[in-house]
Amino acid sequence: MTAPHTVTPLDLGGRTALVTGAAGGIGRACALRLAAAGAKVRAVDRDAPGLEALVAAAPAAAGAVEPHVLDLTDLDAAEDLAAGTDVLVNNAGLQLVRPIEDFPPDVFHTVLTVMLEAPFRLIRGALPHMYAQGWGRVVNISSVHGLRASPYKSAYVAAKHGLEGLSKTAALEGAPHGVTSNCVNPGYVRTPLVEAQIADQAQAHGIAPERVVTDVLLKDSALKRLVEPEEVAEAVAYLCAPSASFVTGTSLVLDGGWTAH
């Protein structure tokens, strides 16, 4: 009779993690979760007060949380900051809801820079250290919109689809070096980003704001609720755990059944 399988708690003691968009929402939850597992977390965001609040919220007994105020359109600085990291969580994002013919080209460029080119540069900066030690975890916070499209979100959908391809390529290149790369794909998460787009969605669809959550955001979800940031953070933690060492090049979907259609 074989011994029962035991689950080893996530222990990132001695590891350095970098989380972008860490001042709020999913990024904040991920930073706190990885710190709770013992990691030293480089918390990256352009929101300095939000980073200060994150540092104050981190348990004293947990790993250290280091705030780094950075606009990810500074691609060289982003790549430099990623050097020496063991766990990279590409989370930062922004959203604008407009028809393609009305979508400002400069905003499209910014969205692709922050949500696709910056992750490429961060991965590029992190891989040499990961390769040298034979271990690394790249977790890209994608979205159900990395697998499905929605109207009026051309930049966001394009960036998330691109992130899926980047993540798979990193997985194939990193496999011989002990580095995994995966996406986490939540549906609509209870974050400031989602709350801020309700007015835009109401205008784009011509409906009242109170109908946006039920008639637009959760229309294709079998589970009629928003995902909580902490649920996404647990998925990230799983991908960093020893039990997920064979999981790479894939997308971990938390969409309440959206993609089951």
The residues that are catalytic are: 156
Q: Which two tokens stand for residue 83?
A: 């050097």
CA-based Rg of the chain, rounded to a whole angstrom?
18
- Identify which of 171, 46, 51 has the alpha carbon closest to the alpha carbon of residue 110: 46
- Identify which of 189, 215, 208, 223 has the alpha carbon closest to the alpha carbon of residue 95: 189
Q: List Cβ<8 Å contacts ≥24 apart for 154-160.
A: 154/100, 154/103, 154/108, 155/96, 155/103, 155/107, 155/108, 155/111, 155/112, 156/93, 156/95, 156/96, 156/111, 156/115, 158/108, 158/111, 158/112, 159/93, 159/111, 159/112, 159/115, 159/116, 160/115
